Amino acid sequence: MPVAYGVFVGINYERTSAALRGCMNDARNWYRALGSHCIETALLLEDEASRQGIIGTLTKTLAKLKAGDWLVFTFSGHGTQVKDASGDEQDGKDEAICPYDYQKSLILDDEIRAVLSRRNPESFVLAIMDCCHSGTNLKALDMAPRSLDWSEIPEEAKLLISNDTRGAAGDDGVMLISGCDSSEVSFDITENGVPCGALTSRALAAWKDLAQGATYGFWYQKIRKELPSSRYRQTPQFEPSPAHMGQFPVIGKWQQAGNVPPPPDAAWTPDSITMNGATYDKRK
């Protein structure tokens, strides 16, 4: 029977000029919600979430996946944009996440995709990225963008960006939920006095309300009912093969309660979906 593994990452960058407040809470909350549905978990907070810590943990965990198994990978922290060295980005910029030791080195999104591809080809990955990659000057007492401008990245880190992106091509077995599109920011917010990510907060609330057997498409639909909002103008993105939106039940919702079927709309799959400016139509 297929099983799931979990890697949950949260970095607040405490005692730095880039400090956030809600990222470790996000990781803990994902761990509490999804960890009990995994046979093995890793919770990486602050200095545990170094570049080596993140890539090493993912690599070791992915090696354990068998056909049908899942890895759930969540990341809450800063993202940034770097100069595209591979030539695969139309705007000349590559996206990256900032590990705890980002002042020494970053992790390119192409690197992450390459690492995730080195697994059993019949296994699957759900990646939830509560970060963003476009810089902004927007600041508020209870709200901050989860992004670092390129100018804030030390020269040493820029020089050490890895080009090991073997296997970074499209992967139908990886589903990605991210906090916003490429022109927006994902917010680090405070709700009821508790710091958290806007995406994580809405995604977890939606997950808790899902019926058994609900699909990723239905989960995404529920998240999109909450974001963007008048306060948080970020549009969560869902990047699978569009057909997969209605194919798989969400982790933690795999088992039906007796013989009771999920509600009719639980298997919702859109005829088309727009992601980062491109429209995919399953009818074609």
Which residues carry out catalysis? 78, 132
User: Cβ neighbours of residue 230 under 8 Å, at least 6 residues apart?
Assistant: none
Buried b / exposed e along 73-102 (16+ C-beta atoms within 10 A): bbbbbbbbbbebeeeebeeebbbbbbbbbb
DSSP code for 249 = B
Length of the chain: 284
161, 176 contact by CB (below 8 A): no
CA distance 254 to 240: 19
Q: How wide is the angle at C-alpha 268 spanned by C-alphas 264 and 270, nearest 5°? A: 145
